[in-house]
Structure 1
Amino acid sequence: MTREQEAAGSGTVAVHDPVVVSGPAAAEADPRPVLVVGASGKTGRAVSRALMARGVPVRAGVRPGREGAAPAGATSVPLDLVTGSGLEEALSGARAAYHMAPNVHPDEVMMARRVAEAASAVGLPHLVFHSVLHPEDARMPHHLHKGDAEAVLAQEFSGSLVVLRPCAYHQNVLPQVLAGEVVLPYSADSPFTTVDLDDVAEAAAVVLLDPSRGGEVHDLCGPEVLSTRRMVEVAAEVLGRPVALRETTVDAWRNGPGAGLPAEARDVLAAMFTAYDEDGLVGDPAPLTALLGRSPTPWAETLRRTLPSS
């Protein structure tokens, strides 16, 4: 996804296991899998990798017919968030689940209700919801949908719930940077606290595997307040080559890159660009710092990871 399409707390996992173990040992002792909904996408793949790196078996929840797109090493399970088909089967026997709806989907709130109902029906102990930074921002309809989904899950899921609210990712703008030109339908001087996707995934793994965190909500933001203009300047310095930056209009985006999107998604994203043009998207890095036990990854370090090894 582009940065424009994925401009999306702290958590707790309740693990109901007959063996009385706590802390990291509990994570290692529990053989049950964690379900990652949307595992074939950018975020789902990152969360799955972070879990498997800890030795945790992953069930990769993917759309029916997309089973082959599951991350390597995960067990693919088909499910349909629109109809609810396959949800109970995918959730049954899992120790926890990570729920993330498709980006700017108009049915997000009902998807949350279907997940809550299915998870409660099978007795899922713990659920982590992938929300968005500032879900109360009424200028952006998809943020409000995330906020409504949070409320539905809190009211209707019977187990332990954690909400993560990430800012936009470094990786959303990274492909344009590496291609040599960044094109924005909003001001290049608007501020952002973009976050490294791998940091988000690490934080997700932490809260999914820690049964002491039920009820927590964490913003997940990077350590720097940077405009896209400054991000491009840093990229040119780190990569050692020019990176162009060009501003366009929302109307030009509607008639260009956004033309192939459904009308509702196009309107939602256009509203987001207008909000970004006004004041960007900025949050506090302290919650992510606490979850990681270190400072979040700066933009320059994300860029350095793309360089050939010396």
Structure 2
Amino acid sequence: MSEVLVIGAAGKTGRAVTRALLARGVVVRAAVRPGSTSTPYAGASVHVVPLDLVSGTGLPVAVAGVDAVYHLAPNVHPDEVGMARRVVEAAAAEGISRFVFHSVLHPDDASMPHHVRKGEAERVVREVLPTATVLRPAAYHQNLVDAALAGCISVPYSLDTPFTNVDLDDVAEVAWRVLTGHGHEGATHQLAGPERLSVREMASVAGEVLGRPVEAVVVPLREWLEGAGAPLPEQARDDLTAMFRSYDREGLVGDPAALRALLGREPHTWREVLMRAASEPVAP
């Protein structure tokens, strides 16, 4: 394996996948938005290339000569399906058969439009490249870590519905295994964490780990819309509002068996992720 293209390499997931590949000696071609000042890494093992997923500008250069592609679209993007088609067609034209599409847990849940777009994108990828592998991760533990460390997890949905959140580093390790290993052609892997925990229970565990109280607080949806959601495009607000309402009803849970089998070990728990985060030095 000489080089893997990671699309969305400057984002949270892309950085984690890039780290996992680099740690295991894989050269990464890191695709970032044109003009982006946020490049994931610098060094002989990372080649940064500009890529506009909306127009497809930069795709021929991005895919040329790589052995595998990891495709991750921007969160809740309305053109998820078009992006997937452009990327997978470019990969297929280059003769690349090892292609990993980063989807989401329960991509056909009609209550969440951006999940449905992921499901449609999965089908497009498979139509063009049947050998592609699909990863369907649950929500990340890391989405709540900073809030827990700060002492208050506030969310615009129920504190008591269950989640099987997953460690992003476990997802990245699976990405490395699938991108460089064998036997995953045409497979779909659900990546759910090993625990069913509500936000209230997560706050309680965080308090035990940190040795100080950690609150769990519901932010009314209207307050979220007028605050954190206000700067977002209307479509993104609508997508996230639908997601929060779905979480409010039933949370987001999956089966951890596939993740456990892919890792060959127990996936990291919320407690373990928090302990790791709490022990890391604070960046200057």
TM-score, normalised by the number of residues in structure 2: 0.95
1:187-206 aligned at under 5 Å gives the runs 187-206=158-177
Conservation of the 8 A alpha-carbon contact between 1:68 and 1:76: no
Aligned to 1:51: 21
Query: For residues 72 and 198 of structure 1, do their structure 2 counterparts lie closer, same or farther at Cα, with a shift above 3 Å needed?
Result: farther
Confirm or deny: 8 A CA contact 1:39 1:71 kept in the other structure: no
- Indicate the residue corresponding to 2:245 in structure 1: 274
Distance in 2, matches of 1:142 and 1:107, equals: 10
Structure 1 stretch 235-244 or stretch 276-285: which is displaced more?
Answer: 235-244
Letter in 2 for 1:249: P
Contact 1:196 1:222 in 2 (8 A): yes
The aligned residue for residue 30 of structure 2 is: 60
1:75 aligned to 47, 70, 91, which one? Answer: 47
Matching of residue 122 in structure 1 with residue 94 in structure 2: yes
Equivalent position of 2:278 in the other structure: 307
Q: Matched residues in 2 for 1:151 and 1:65: separation?
A: 31
Contact 2:154 2:218 in 1 (8 A): yes
Do residues 257 (structure 1) and 228 (structure 2) align? Answer: yes
Provide closer, same or farther for how the CA distance between residues 227 and 68 of structure 1 changes in structure 2, counting only shifts above 3 A.
Answer: closer
> 1:144-183, CA deviations, whole angstroms, 9 ceiling, x for partnerless residues?
00000000000023x6200000000000011111111111
The one-letter amino acid of 1:268's match is: D
Counterpart Cα distance in 2 of 1:210 and 1:289 = 16
Q: 1:114 to 1:87 in 2, by over 3 A?
A: same
Shift of 1:68: 4.8
Relative contact order, CA 8 A, sep 6+: which one is greater?
1
Contact 2:71–2:101 under 8 Å retained in 1: yes
Counting matched residue pairs gives 279
Which among 180, 199, 205 is matched to residue 209 of structure 1? 180
Deviations, residues 110-148 of structure 1 (Å, cap 9, x unaligned) = 001101211111111210000000001000000000000
| Deviation of 1:251 (Å) | 1.5
What does 1:166-245 align with in structure 2 at a 5 Å threshold? 166-245=137-216
Structure 1 distance, partners of 2:279, 2:255, is 32
- Name the SS for the 2:279 alignment partner: coil
1:308 CA drift (Å): 3.4
Evaluate the alpha carbon distance shift between residue 297 and residue 262 of structure 1 in structure 2; reply closer, same or farther with a 3 A threshold. same
Letter of the aligned partner of 1:153 in structure 2? V
3-state SS, counterpart of residue 132 of structure 2? strand
| Range moving further from structure 2, 161-170 or 59-68 | 59-68
1:137 aligns to what?
A: 109
Q: Residues 54-103 of structure 1: CA distance to partner in whole angstroms, max 9, x if unpaired?
A: 10000101001126522244210111100001111111111101000000
Question: Structure 2 counterpart of 1:37, which letter?
Answer: I
Whichever residue aligns with residue 126 of structure 1, its letter is R
Structure 2: gaps (5+ residues) = none
The answer for unaligned runs of 5 or more in structure 1 is 1-29
| Residue 224 of structure 1: how far off its partner (Å) | 0.3
What is aligned with 1:85?
Answer: 57
Deviant stretches of 4+, over 4 Å? none
User: Does structure 1 conserve the Cα–Cα contact (< 8 Å) formed by 2:149 and 2:278?
Assistant: no
RMSD: 1.3
Match of 2:66 in 1: 94
Distance in 1, matches of 2:223 and 2:118, equals 27
Percent of aligned positions with the same letter in both sequences?
A: 58
